[in-house]
A and B are shown apart, each in its own frame.
Chain A
Amino acid sequence: EAGVTQFPSHSVIEKGQTVTLRCDPISGHDNLYWYRRVMGKEIKFLLHFVKESKQDESGMPNNRFLAERTGGTYSTLKVQPAELEDSGVYFCASSQDTGIGGYTFGSGTRLTVV
């Protein structure tokens, strides 16, 4: 079974540019999550999809971040325009159930905004 796949693995962009991160969950997993780790801080929740619906987006930092999951399969997270403080590692995770039993994480996208 393929795991959670994220693309790209690394991205370096200039402040003000746009970046789109992609996550392919484990096949059949309705629940998809985005998390972020900023340097020196703990991993923090961003949002949770159930199929194509946003179940919880309470962790999204501001309206420069837009997440979509059209068709309930893969998800994208767009940052527009990127700011320096957006640098960090963005992890995606998926689960078949509600997530109470823990998740499987993807290898992450390391975003550097310069």
Chain B
Amino acid sequence: RKEVEQDPGPFNVPEGATVAFNCTYSNSASQSFFWYRQDCRKEPKLLMSVYSSGNEDGRFTAQLNRASQYISLLIRDSKLSDSATYLCAVNRVAPGAGSYQLTFGKGTKLSVIP
């Protein structure tokens, strides 16, 4: 089982739609959680951190459920510019190294259609 799993999509949604992405992680020692956005042939860019209390940034809402080891991202009122691949990432201390290591899912591709 992969450490971080996401539905690869693609998700094709019309402009203005609401879309939700889910991600599960297997390592209960994971300590911090993120959503990254990656445009085609570009680097991943941090979209938002994810907290247990849930957090919102404009049209984007992220949620963490530690008990279920589940992370979600909700995008409301989708824009054409939201088309990208969304990567779930979890951070944990690497065994024996004492430093943090980020583990990514393969990403979920979103296409917002006019």
Contacts and interface: CB of A to CB of B under 8 A. Distances in A.
B34 to A, nearest CB: 5
Given A48-B99, A100-B100, A102-B34, A42 B43 contact: no
A71 interface: no
Contacts of A100: 31-32, 91, 100
B46 to A, nearest CB: 5
Given A105-B44, A107-B43, A55 B104 contact: no
Contact of A56 (B32, B44, B101): B101
Given A101-B32, A107-B43, A56 B105 contact: no
A99 interface: yes
A108 B42 CA distance: 8
A101 B49 contact: yes
A91 interface: yes
Contacts of B2: 42
Contacts of A102: 32, 34, 46, 49, 89, 91, 102
Interface residues of B, number: 28
B45 to A, nearest CB: 7
A55 B98 contact: yes
A80 interface: no
Interface in B48-71: 49
Given A42-B106, A108-B43, A48 B34 contact: no
A98 B100 contact: yes
B97 A56 contact: yes
9 contacts: A43-B104, A56-B99, A58-B94, A99-B99, A101-B49, A102-B102, A105-B43, A108-B42, A108-B43
Interface of A: 31, 33, 35, 41-45, 48, 50, 55-56, 58-59, 91, 98-108, 110
Interface of B: 2, 4, 31-32, 34, 41-46, 49, 87, 89, 91, 94, 96-107
Given A45-B101, A91-B43, A102-B32, 15 more contacts: A42-B105, A43-B104, A48-B94, A56-B94, A56-B98, A91-B44, A99-B91, A100-B31, A100-B91, A100-B100, A101-B49, A102-B34, A102-B89, A103-B46, A108-B42
